[in-house]
């Protein structure tokens, strides 16, 4: 990935914008290395950390990014509110507003400030930061148990990006049968064949194809995400459901 970025950078490049981590397979990007490479070409770096906050440590100073965006609902805060970090402030990196109007929020977003949402975002951030170490370890333990037991019970199962740095709560699984058909046979489980952003897209996941899966394999893949309310009993239930259905 870094080699592809190096080739893409030229004198016309102004900004590199990249996810902190992938929302389909959970792989974590080497942000600090990307920043170093981009800055050596005089290019600014923005990272979309919506998926990362609350799951891994997010440190703008350690990463060195110029801009970072996040969403409250990804860490159990209210929907419809987010934040944008700008290194050095908007005087150093001029940003044009999408909505012209009043001078609220330093002229970047017109309209009455969403005070309940802003407070909710702050509180969600506070809780996430205070619990991130213990919660990440808990989720990783559950995820590893889930993957271990599924591999023991389902022949030819593939865990995508299994050995890459990734989120503690995400599993991308490839089966031998079509994922949509498999989901219909598992009505008690809420899962997805892709990210919510791509739900309904006619093409198989470009992310899965980019890491080497065929179109058929990409169409046979399911994403499972664990969360704060996931328990060991839930993991046992999921394994039982998959084992009973896939082995038929």
Which sequence positions are flagged as catalytic? 197
Buried b / exposed e over 57-77, threshold 16 CB at 10 Å, is: ebebeebbbbbbbbbbbbbeb
Q: Using only C-alpha atoms, what is the Rg of the chain?
A: 20
Q: Where are the beta strands (DSSP E) in 81-136?
A: 82-86
H helices of 154-231, in order, are: 179-184, 206-210, 215-218
- Which residues, listed in sequence order, are joined to residue 82 by a DSSP beta bridge? 71
**Distance between CA atoms of residues 82 and 248, nearest Å:** 45
Helix 232-246 to helix 115-153 angle, to the nearest 10 degrees?
50
- The Cα 129–Cα 22 span in angstroms is 21
Smallest CA-to-CA distance from 27 within 38, 16, 39, 18 is with 18
Q: Helix, strand or coil for residue 97? A: coil
């Amino acid at each position: 990935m870094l080699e592809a970025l190096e080739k893409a950078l030229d004198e016309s490049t102004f900004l590199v914008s990249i996810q902190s981590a992938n929302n389909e397979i959970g792989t974590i990007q080497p942000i600090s290395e990307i920043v170093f490479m981009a800055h050596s070409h005089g290019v600014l770096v923005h990272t979309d950390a919506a998926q990362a906050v609350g799951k891994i440590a997010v440190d703008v100073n350690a990463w060195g990014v110029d801009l970072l965006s996040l969403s409250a609902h990804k860490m159990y805060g209210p929907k419809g509110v987010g934040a944008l970090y700008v290194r050095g402030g908007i005087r150093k990196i001029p940003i044009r507003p999408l909505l012209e109007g009043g001078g609220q929020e330093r002229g970047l977003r017109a309209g009455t400030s969403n005070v309940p949402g802003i407070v909710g975002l702050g509180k969600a951030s506070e809780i996430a930061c205070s619990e991130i170490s213990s919660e990440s370890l808990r989720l990783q333990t559950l995820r590893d148990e889930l993957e271990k037991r599924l591999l023991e019970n389902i022949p030819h199962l593939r865990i995508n990006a299994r050995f890459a740095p990734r989120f503690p709560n995400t599993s991308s699984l490839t089966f031998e049968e079509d994922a949509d058909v498999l989901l219909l046979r598992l009505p008690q489980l809420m899962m997805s064949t892709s990210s919510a952003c791509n739900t309904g897209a006619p093409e198989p996941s470009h992310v899965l194809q980019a890491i080497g899966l065929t179109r058929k394999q990409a169409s046979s893949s399911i994403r499972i995400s664990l969360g704060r309310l996931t328990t060991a009993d839930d993991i046992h239930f999921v394994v039982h459901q998959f084992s009973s259905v896939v082995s038929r």
